[in-house]
Structure 1
Amino acid sequence: MRVVDVAEDGPLLQVLYEDLLVPSFPPDELQTLQWVRDGLADGGVVVGAVLDDAGAPEAVAVGEWDAPSRVLLLSYLTVRPRIRSRGLGGLLMGVVTGAWRERFRPLLTLAEVEHPLAHEAGGERGDPAARLRFYARHGARALDIPYFQPVLRPGAERVHGMLLLVLTRAGGTGGERPDTVDPGPVRAFLEDRLLSDEEHDADGPVLRMRGALARPGGIGLLPLDDVRALPLSAPDGDGDARP
């Protein structure tokens, strides 16, 4: 197995997208192949892959760099189902927190993942609870905000029941306590890259997310071992659905 940087559009990128990303993520959670291509071309997207000895792709990670907020988002990470739990995800996490961090020097490295109480395990998409345990082993903690994935493109829907994890943070981004994060970079990232494209920018879920960003003392960082203690976003009218 070897890890490679997918630096340009080509046959490998299309195979990674069609064979690994499409089966692993619901359509509303997945950006288009053209979005990945455009991002690679302008430097806003980075892709890493694990190839077997014959050169066939077995795992992929896709990151999104937001220069204004200096936030790096791990948008997607998946391993071919037949070889999950064999360390390939860990290889890619090493790229995210190593080479990508060295390249971009982010204030924060974040990851979007499904909340296990809102998304069921099944098929090639894997188990959200197992995925959360994977990130916990790599030191991730959840931001205490009721996060949803905004609409990615026309015809898609919001995805509620998502978590925004902190994978790394630079010095000076902490709040008053070690278990908090300065809301500034998170707010800038969400407003610039996500919430700015929402049609209903003052509805309940958006206001609840913005309210969490405005709490005094910074945004709380929560351990991942108790899923019932993690924030759970809900459609407008349902409030914060945390159990």
Structure 2
Amino acid sequence: MRIERLTDDATTGLFYRQVIVPSFPDEQLVTRESLVADLHSGVGEVFIVRDEAGTLLGGAVGSWYEAPRVMLLSYLAVAEEGRGTGVGTFLLGHLVRDWAQRYDPCLIVAEVERPDRHTGNPAHGDPEARLRFYARLGARALDLPYFQPALESQKARVHGMLLLLLHAAPKFADERAQSVAAGPLRDFLTEYLVATEREVAQQDPATSALWQGLDRAGGVAVRPVDRYEQIAAG
């Protein structure tokens, strides 16, 4: 297997159609045009995995938030041809190392569905299995009532999500890695909400609960992924 970082519209569009769209529900999808625009602006990065014959096995999309220095793993998906071959493990391990070296981020995070709020299906996968996958690679869950912002004006927010921690720079985590600094997360979420929803809603209950989680003394607690039910749902 080999990893390629995409720079051209055609292959990015092919990856979007063949891998991303079949793997996620519509409300969790940006448009192909948005993905390509982010790629050209430097905000987004797209990586794919191919086998030795050139078959597209899977890929991932990252979104870099420069001011708060946070990398969001927006999508990671494996095509049917690549399932059960270790593609996801190979790709995620590479990306976390690569992003940590190239960007020196405060945090690398990922959005996933809560298994107690979302049910799996053959097309979009099993949330329980997805959490086990991330846990095997060292991910932990941030203690925030998280929701995915509305990615397009005609779409709704996705409630019942988890924000996973994939990497934290040492100065942004406590000595025992029990919590991370809230500042980079607050700045990242502010930028994310403004970019997608055009504002940070002041009177919205879900947003207020998220901000209250960021305001707890001692930073944002980090939980083992298998204890995600201890985290309030957003």
TM-score between both structures, scaled by the size of structure 2: 0.94
1-side partners of 2:221 and 2:15: how far apart?
35
Amino acid at match of 1:219: V
Aligned counterpart, 1:158: 157
2-side partners of 1:210 and 1:47: how far apart?
30
1-side partners of 2:185 and 2:200: how far apart?
20
Deviations 1:72-118 (A, max 9, x none): 00000000135323210011112221222222111100000011111
1-side partners of 2:90 and 2:209: how far apart?
36
Assess if the C-alpha contact under 8 Å between 2:93 and 2:137 holds in 1: no
How many residue pairs align between the two structures?
Answer: 232
Aligned counterpart, 2:182: 183
Task: Check 1:150–1:19 CA distance in 2 against 1; reply closer, same or farther (3 A cut).
Answer: same
1-side partners of 2:118 and 2:208: how far apart?
23
- Please list every run of at least 4 consecutive aligned residues from structure 1 whose deviation after the TM superposition is greater than 4 angstroms: none
Amino acid at match of 1:115: R
Provide the secondary structure at the position in 2 that maps to 1:18.
helix
The within-5 A match list for 1:172-211 is 172-175=171-174, 178-194=177-193, 197-198=198-199, 200-211=201-212
- With 194-203 and 216-225 compared, the bigger mean Cα shift is at 194-203
Unaligned ranges ≥5, structure 2 = none
2-side partners of 1:135 and 1:193: how far apart?
23
Assess if the C-alpha contact under 8 Å between 2:141 and 2:228 holds in 1: no
Aligned counterpart, 1:236: none
Aligned counterpart, 2:166: 167
Amino acid at match of 1:3: I
- With 205-214 and 94-103 compared, the bigger mean Cα shift is at 94-103
1-side partners of 2:200 and 2:155: how far apart?
12
Q: Alpha-carbon deviation of 1:199?
A: 7.0
Unaligned ranges ≥5, structure 1 = 234-243
Assess if the C-alpha contact under 8 Å between 1:142 and 1:165 holds in 2: yes
2-side partners of 1:183 and 1:194: how far apart?
16
The within-5 A match list for 1:62-101 is 62-101=61-100
Assess if the C-alpha contact under 8 Å between 1:81 and 1:124 holds in 2: no
Q: Alpha-carbon deviation of 1:198?
A: 4.5
Amino acid at match of 1:5: R
Aligned counterpart, 1:33: 32
Indicate the RMSD between aligned Cα atoms, in angstroms: 1.5
Amino acid at match of 1:44: V
Deviations 1:114-155 (A, max 9, x none): 111111110220001000000000111011000000111110
Aligned counterpart, 1:7: 7
TM-score between both structures, scaled by the size of structure 1: 0.91
Assess if the C-alpha contact under 8 Å between 2:22 and 2:123 holds in 1: yes
1:145 and 2:144 matched = yes
Provide the secondary structure at the position in 1 that maps to 2:172.
coil
- With 69-78 and 116-125 compared, the bigger mean Cα shift is at 116-125
Assess if the C-alpha contact under 8 Å between 1:175 and 1:219 holds in 2: no
Q: Alpha-carbon deviation of 1:66?
A: 0.3
Aligned counterpart, 1:213: 214
Task: Check 1:201–1:20 CA distance in 2 against 1; reply closer, same or farther (3 A cut).
Answer: farther
2-side partners of 1:64 and 1:58: how far apart?
21
% of aligned pairs identical? 41
- With 39-48 and 80-89 compared, the bigger mean Cα shift is at 80-89
Provide the secondary structure at the position in 2 that maps to 1:41.
helix
Aligned counterpart, 2:232: 231
Aligned counterpart, 2:20: 21
2-side partners of 1:106 and 1:112: how far apart?
17
Assess if the C-alpha contact under 8 Å between 2:58 and 2:82 holds in 1: no
